């Protein structure tokens, strides 16, 4: 599924950082420049009823939290709502994209569930993928990606450098030797 071109970027964030704002702003700028960005960015918090996501291709906000249950502990993610969001993203992806953004890599994706199939679908279509990965999930991410991703800092400059590398690689004429994104970012 993964290749050495490293068109798979992991925006690695610390607990005090806000990867959602970084991804949301980056996607907005790409769209303003005519790029088709498909995927979603988290809004709200996992541990309360505000957990939601914004579909980047439509701007629609979807509730992802379970209906309120005072006895619930930990993340209140409603898996049926997550699956519905994934289906909407898959439908938009079927119409093409310049970039796919996945809001988080977590235990569901680690286990091959959640939004993991969207990553595979995009990469199989040669569409770059950007995903937020918490520092505490990075070892699982490396295993999942087979080591074939670029680790990006949680800031706009890192995203810009990665994107420039990905789009430069895609713009190279075939037949010549071209550097991979991994080589460019080293």
Confidence class for position 1, pLDDT limits 50, 70, 90:
very low
- H-helix or E-strand containing 170? helix 156-171
What's the chain's length in residues? 186
pLDDT at 4: 44
Residue 51 neighbours by CB under 8 Å, 6+ apart: 42, 44, 45, 63, 64, 65, 75, 76, 77
- Give a yes or no: residue 3 inside a domain: no
Range(s) of the domain holding residue 152: 8-185
- Binning pLDDT at 50, 70 and 90, where does residue 68 land? low
Res. 52 pLDDT band, cuts 50 70 90: confident
Domain count, the chain: 1
Residue of 10, 7, 5, 26 whose CA lies nearest to 144: 10
The residues facing 12 across adjacent strands are: 133
Enumerate residues 6+ apart whose C-beta is below 8 A from 108: 79, 82, 114, 115, 116
Residue 61 has pLDDT above 80, yes or no: yes
Give dist(CA 177, CA 183) in Å, integer. Answer: 12
With a cut of 80, say whether residue 103 has pLDDT above it: yes
- Is 169 within a domain? yes
Residue 2: inside a domain: no
Residue 106 covered by a domain: yes
160-171: per-residue pLDDT in tens? 999 999 988 655
Classify residue 70: in a domain, yes or no.
yes
- Mean pLDDT confidence for 37-44: 90
How is 88-134 classified by DSSP, letter by letter? HHHHHHTT--SEEEEEEE-HHHHTT-TTHHHHHHHHHTT--EEEEEE
Q: Which of 44, 9, 37 is nearest to 132 (CA)?
A: 9
CATH assignment at residue 175: 3.40.50.300
| 79-91 pLDDT tens trace | 888 899 999 999 9
- For 118, residues 6+ apart whose C-beta sits below 8 A from its C-beta are 39, 86, 89, 90, 93, 100, 102
Select the more confidently predicted residue: 68 or 122: 122
- In-domain check, residue 40: yes
């Amino acid at each position: 599924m993964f290749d050495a071109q490293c068109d798979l970027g992991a925006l690695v964030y610390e607990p005090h950082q806000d990867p959602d704002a970084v991804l949301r702003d980056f996607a907005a700028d790409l769209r303003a420049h005519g790029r088709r960005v498909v995927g979603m960015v988290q809004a709200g918090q996992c541990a309360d009823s505000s957990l939601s996501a914004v579909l980047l291709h439509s701007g629609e906000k979807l509730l992802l939290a379970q209906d309120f249950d005072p006895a619930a502990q930990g993340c209140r993610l409603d898996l049926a709502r997550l699956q519905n969001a994934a289906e909407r993203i898959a439908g938009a992806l079927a119409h093409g994209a310049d970039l796919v953004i996945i809001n988080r890599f977590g235990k569901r994706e680690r286990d091959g569930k959640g939004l993991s199939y969207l990553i595979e679908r995009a990469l199989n279509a040669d569409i770059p993928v950007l995903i937020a990965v918490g520092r505490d999930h990075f070892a699982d991410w490396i295993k999942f990606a087979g080591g074939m991703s670029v680790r990006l800092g949680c800031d706009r400059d890192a995203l810009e450098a990665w994107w420039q590398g990905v789009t430069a690689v895609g713009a190279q004429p075939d037949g010549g030797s071209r550097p991979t994104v991994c080589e460019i970012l080293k």
